[in-house]
Amino acid sequence: MTDRMHLHDRSPARPLRRSRLARLAPSAVALAVALQVGSALAVEPFVLKDIRVEGLQRSDAGTVFAALPFRIGDTYTDEKGAAALRALFATGLFKDVRIDIDNGVAVVIVDERAVIANIDFVGMKEFEKDALIKSLKDFGIGEGLPFDKALADRAEQELKRQYLTRSLYGAEVVTTVTPQERNRVNVTFTVTEGGAAKISEIRIAGNRAFSERTLKGLFELNDGGWLNFYLKGDRYSRAKLNADLETLRAYYQNRGYLEMEVESTQVTISPDKQDITITINVKEGQPYTVTGVKLEGDFLGKEDDFKTLVTIKPGDAYRAEAVAATTRAFVDRFGTFGYAFAKVESRPEIDRANGRVVVTLVAEPQRRVYVRRVNIAGNTRTRDEVVRREFRQFESSWYDGRKIKLSRDRVDRLGYFSDVSVDTAEVPGSSDQVDLTITIKEKPTGNLSLGAGFSSADKLSLTAAIKQENIFGSGNYLGFEVNTSKYNRTLVLSTVDPYFTIDGISRAVDVYYRTSRPINSQGEQYKLVTPGIAIRFGVPFSEYDTVFFGIGAERTEIKGTTQLPNSYFLYREQFGETSSSVPLTIGWTRDNRDSALVPTAGRYMRVNLDYAALGDAKYMRANLQGQQYFQITRAFTYGVNAEIGYGKGIGGRPYPIFKNFYGGGLGTVRGFDQGSLGPVDVTGAFIGGNRRFNLNNELYLPVPGAGADRTLRIFVYADGGNVWGENEKLTLGSLRASAGLGVSWISPVGPLKLSYGTPIRKKPEDRIQRLQFQIGTAF
């Protein structure tokens, strides 16, 4: 279907020449106007008596009139006619346009393009239809848009290309256009996907220093991995192959093979398009040993300082990784002195005869700059001051790369943003100034959190909470939590102001009302009622360390006369039905994780001590927690969490039974019923204990197809721990353990964690809860 423009003259003057111009293609018309050949074909200018439009079916006549460069009463010229054709054609609504002149009347005759009424996909399984329909609009193919055969062909080719990226080389796409009434069409893409081509063999030729098996083990692509059903490592991708080739080069160059090269790669596919063979030809070269490291250039007179950053060791095999790390460390150190654009280049001096190399590091600090302005972008809700107060790089001060990185990490650890980046730009017209732009991507911070658990005893337990971590964009926290489980019911109102003072001292206030029943197999005709209030202040002592001080007041009432667990009955008989306390709190936290949302490296530590010397209940209670994250590969992260709890009575009083620790379930040892681990009294109630230990291990795996959502991860876990009473011994044999798998995701309504596990170390009396689900917790 060819698009054409015509200019016809129904007057007797020069009919042949007018018909020639009528058949010019759009580009030819433009060229004719540009070269002013229109004067040879033009009619004499005349005054328009009328303008008529013919051929419209769906489009509005006003669209045509708006595109015309002339009106009734204007003087019509050939140049205006050509301009009108171009303008009408540019709307994309018409496949054929011409203008006839009849006795002073301009007749605009159009042939409309059909409008797409519906788009459908038949036989498609590999892609989501809704996502494809959205992306096709970028090609101009969408419901309500004019149909263009050329654009449809481009969309068809793009679909085929997308299938190639999924190793579906035999996929066929056929576009069918079905006319409908009122000049509309239905566009159907019929897909025959076929089977995915798989890598049947990867060959490496030219390797002598390392076995083919060792080198293939480095690759993300493989020809027979046992996790291919999940990771799809046998699906060919050019991007993955390029990444694997870089991994191969790095492996050699980190083991002395400085001149190693990948000479060529061949990718062949079988005639049935189901099997792929990859052949990689390498030239290893010889291994080199580092015999020396030299510094050249301008090191600001601080050569000794820079030498402490060198990780290249003479006498060891050449390691490209060490050279790159040293170069980065030099650039970062220059950045701390204000040299934002420092250049450091490594130049190896190779002695091939003896297999030796001297690494020369050449530095060019360029010019020292200071930060003129810090800009914040991407915050539509969060106030600028919430981000700025985390920045340690100040405006109108020397550029400091270390402070900029620290600032970025502090903003990320707020937990309000899914992505944080900092860009440096030179100030136009100034050689010693730069502007910093911190770009953030906000995530929902207000959420309705839900939690659920299933067990044979509890059936279904529910928790709910309304929380806003960044209320009104102020950086303050406000939360209201409700727990409606069978054994624990809680109402908590909390607020946190992280910058109660300008120096960064935080203030937190909790008002709560808790009702709980220790798990009892004989009925629950009793409950513990605890209203209270607490206030805490956090004082930052360093960039990573905060010390907390606080005071609270609470009262616990043991209610009920029947089926009361024996341990609670004895405590009430001795100390009365109501116990009050005024605990003083001191705590410490250190957090240097790289992210609060999805940590892959770093450590989190917490110590909390409650000391209640005033009131009826006198006790000391300590909690210690530590988390450590290790990035094993780019995709795999290992995290470990350990927690220890200890309580003791003071002032001659026993440790209050209602302050006991509980174990089992989410947050402690998964796979066991919530709060069911530990001592059991003679009535069968799980009463907890004054000592608790739990250890959680999680290995996070990527989710295929998760795209840019780095918060969606699958994990496997192994938990261990228990709760002990005052008179029980802590032994390895008393530990409970479980293992399982799950999924975690920072969803729009809060952090989600779903786990399914099974106890691997248990006792016959233990209560099991294999499936556990909660939104709003970690570990």
**pLDDT at residue 704, rounded to an integer:** 63
Rounded to whole angstroms, the Cα distance separating 454 from 18 reads 83
Tell me, what's the pLDDT at 452? 56
pLDDT for position 257 = 95
Output the pLDDT for position 162.
84
The pair of three-digit structure tokens given for residue 582, joined into one six-digit string: 């005024």
Helices (H), 355-437: 384-388, 401-413
Give residue-wise pLDDT tens across range 686-723.
888 999 999 999 998 877 655 556 678 889 999 999 99
What are the residues whose beta carbons fall under 8 Å from the beta carbon of 108, sequence distance 6 or more? 51, 52, 53, 54, 64, 68, 84, 88, 97, 98, 99
Backbone φ, ψ for residue 471 (5° rounding): -65, 130
349 vs 166: CA distance, rounded Å: 44
Q: Is 698 exposed, middle or buried (0-12, 13-18, 19+ CB in 10 A)?
A: buried
Report the run of H or E that residue 754 belongs to, with start and end. strand 750-761
235 in Cβ contact with 165 (< 8 Å): no
Question: What are the residues whose beta carbons fall under 8 Å from the beta carbon of 687, sequence distance 6 or more?
Answer: 518, 565, 567, 568, 657, 660, 678, 679, 680, 681, 725
Close Cβ partners of 48 (under 8 Å, ≥ 6 residues apart): 70, 71, 72, 73, 74, 75, 76, 104, 105, 106
User: What pLDDT score does 13 carry?
Assistant: 34
Give the DSSP H or E segment for 333.
Answer: helix 320-336
Query: In the chain, which residues have pLDDT < 50?
Result: 1-41, 454-458, 521-523, 777-779
In this structure, are residues 672 and 769 in contact, taking their beta carbons and an 8 Å threshold?
yes
DSSP element (H, E) containing 33: helix 26-34
- Report pLDDT for 37: 34
**Residue-level pLDDT at 21:** 34
pLDDT for res 412 = 87
Structure tokens at 349: 């001096």
What pLDDT does residue 460 have?
Answer: 55
Give pLDDT, residue 533.
95
For the question of whether the overall pTM of this predicted structure is more than 0.85, the answer is no
The CA distance from 97 to 550, in Å, is 80
**Nearest residue to 701 (alpha-carbon basis) of 713, 719, 717:** 713
Please name the residue that has the structure tokens 């207000």: 446
CB 720 within 8 A of CB 734: no
Query: Using CA atoms, how far apart are residues 764 and 743, in angstroms rounded to an integer?
Result: 29
Contact 185, 116 (CB under 8 A): yes
Q: Rounded to whole angstroms, how far apart are CA atoms 519 and 527?
A: 11
Q: What is the pLDDT of residues 148-191, one digit of tens each?
A: 888 888 888 888 888 887 778 888 899 999 988 878 889 999 99
Place of tokens 């509890």: 458
Kindly give the interhelix angle for 238-253 and 320-336, rounded to the nearest 10 degrees.
90
* Token code pair at residue 440: 């953030």
In sequence order, which ranges of 35-176 are alpha helices (DSSP H)?
38-41, 61-67, 78-90, 129-136, 149-165
Q: What share of the chain is helix, strand, coil (3-state, %, to 5)?
A: 20, 45, 35
pLDDT at 709: 63
Go through the chain and tell me how many residues it has: 779
A 10 A CB-CB count for 156 gives 16
Helices marked H in 431-589 — which ranges?
A: 566-575
Tokens coding 297: 């250039």
Give me the pLDDT at residue 5, please: 40
Structure tokens at 449: 């959190």
Question: Taking a C-beta distance cutoff of 8 angstroms, is the pair 486, 516 a contact?
Answer: no
Contact, 376 vs 440, CB < 8 A?
Answer: yes
Q: Provide CB contacts within 8 A for 31, sequence distance 6+.
A: none
List strand residue ranges (DSSP E) for 231-340, in order: 261-269, 275-283, 289-297
CB 494 within 8 A of CB 479: yes
